[in-house]
Chain A
Amino acid sequence: MDMTGINDLFDQPLVVVNVGLKIFHESLKTQGALCVHVDWRPPAGGDPKILEILEKLGS
């Protein structure tokens, strides 16, 4: 497996976009990484029945 690309990534300062759990964002910040947090959670908590209703009601 060619790891060149991924190693190149870690050889430079990281800029991270964190989606979801804020604890990962906070952890990276304490390690000095540049990190932007996106407050996101699965729509309707991921419940398929509720998602079906929401789709029907055009949300």
Chain B
Amino acid sequence: MKNIIETANREGLSRIDNSQPFLVDIRFANEVLPGLHDFVIGHAGPPMDWEQMCGPMRGAILGAIKYEGWAAHDIEAEELAKSGKITFVSNHDLGAVGPMTGIITRSMPLFEVFNETFSNYSYCTINEGLGKVLRFGANDDEVVNRLKWIEVTLAPVLKNVLEMSGPVNLKVIMIQALAMGDEMHQRNIAASLLFARAIMKHLAKVDLLPEDRSRIVAFIMGNEQFFLNLGMAAAKAVMDSAHGIENSTMVTAMSRNGTSFGIRVSGLGDGWFEAPPDLPQGLYFPGFSEEDANLDMGDSAILECMGVGGFAMSSAPAVVRFVGAGTVIDAERYTREMFEISIGKSEKYFIPTLDFEGIPMGIDIRKVVETGILPVINTGIAHKQAGVGQVGAGVVRAPMECFIKALVCFGEKAR
């Protein structure tokens, strides 16, 4: 059995490393996500109902309902959400991902990423910026109006830009950004600038009102996390290509809905192995503390599945301060620890500070359970109440129970 699993896992590792994710288009969710029509809402993490949802998830859903015009105000939106008339769907089941609450509705424009090596697509929303935003559960007029601006003004322009630029190679940007001090989860400064460099000369040619051009440039250049959603879409396209390999014990998705943490395993189908999530340990914005924090949340841990984020912490010494993870030596320790639970090292994505070792790639459920070393995830922290938004950033571990459940299932299957 060992040889069969090792062969399957090597195939998975090869698929991750050889994937070539390109940003190819901007598409509206109802055009490309199956079944995402009126009164259907995609969310981060494993599937769940309204009753199970945490505060920020509910807050974001109310915001999305108002954004779509299905209700005029919060009270009406909450009545609709509770009524059973809304269908809630896990983003992963739609072929998409979204950070934090991860809410996707029919009118939202999405980045369309194509994995050229394996001909599969993935989708992610456009990053709204930091602070009071829908993905962190905020939902007032400012949030909804910004979403409308993204849909009506920004998305058509980005689509036009991509028509001029052609596909943007996200793998090249991620490899360069790793060498420039990003880990692509909580630090995307270099990646965002590299992406901006790729599109700006085309954006300059789009026929636009001066005020629209100014706002678009300010929106993209003023958001150090703009690339986060592009990196997530890339990671989703990459990891989906490694899903469904018989006998592979590789984790192909880790995701959290704020109430439950779930993992998917390549050789175990589309089911989720779930456990309660932890509270991230980190730093809080002025005026907030751990008491305000919601449990771990978001589809963004897809990044750690492919070996960036917390796994590549050593690549981003500056991020350890932002996420309160200690010292530069601690950053190296995190990455070295992740080698222990990974199937191998990348031959394409390198960490300069580790003398150009490849990033740890492909989490093996067997190694997690055997060593007791849990995958480390860099993450934003949402306020636990609906409507507030982001209150900090930190580090969190995946819960062991998910990996034990998956391992037991694998053991039964292997009988």
Contact = CB atoms under 8 A, between A and B. Distances in A.
Interface of A: 41, 43-45, 50, 53-54, 56-59
20 contacts: A41-B372, A43-B371, A44-B369, A44-B370, A50-B369, A50-B408, A53-B407, A53-B411, A56-B411, A56-B414, A57-B1, A57-B2, A57-B5, A57-B249, A57-B407, A57-B414, A58-B5, A58-B366, A59-B369, A59-B370
B321 interface: no
B6 interface: yes
Interface in B230-251: 249
Contacts of A54: 366, 369-370, 407
Interface residues of B, number: 18
Nearest to A58: B2
A53 B369 CA distance: 11
Interface string B353-384: 00000000000001101111000000000000
B348 to A, nearest CB: 27
Nearest to A49: B408
B404 interface: yes
B99 to A, nearest CB: 33
Contacts of A53: 407-408, 410-411
A59 B366 contact: yes
Contacts of B371: 41, 43
B339 to A, nearest CB: 13
A38 B370 CA distance: 17
Nearest to A39: B337
Interface of B: 1-3, 5-6, 249, 366-367, 369-372, 404, 407-408, 410-411, 414
A6 B296 CA distance: 52
A53 to B, nearest CB: 4
Which of B1, B3, B366, B370 counts the most A-chain CB atoms under 10 A from its CB?
B370
B266 to A, nearest CB: 14
Contacts of B369: 44, 50, 54, 59
Interchain residue pairs A-B with the least CB separation, the first 8 = A58-B2, A53-B411, A59-B366, A43-B370, A59-B370, A58-B1, A41-B372, A44-B369
Contacts of B407: 50, 53-54, 57
Nearest to A52: B411
B376 to A, nearest CB: 15
A50 B401 CA distance: 12
Contacts of B1: 56-58
A33 B371 CA distance: 29
Contacts of A41: 371-372
A59 B367 CA distance: 7
Nearest to B410: A57
A59 B76 CA distance: 54
B347 to A, nearest CB: 24
Contacts of A59: 2, 366-367, 369-370
A31 B204 CA distance: 67
A43 B369 CA distance: 8
A57 B410 CA distance: 8
A59 B161 CA distance: 49
Contacts of A58: 1-3, 5-6, 366
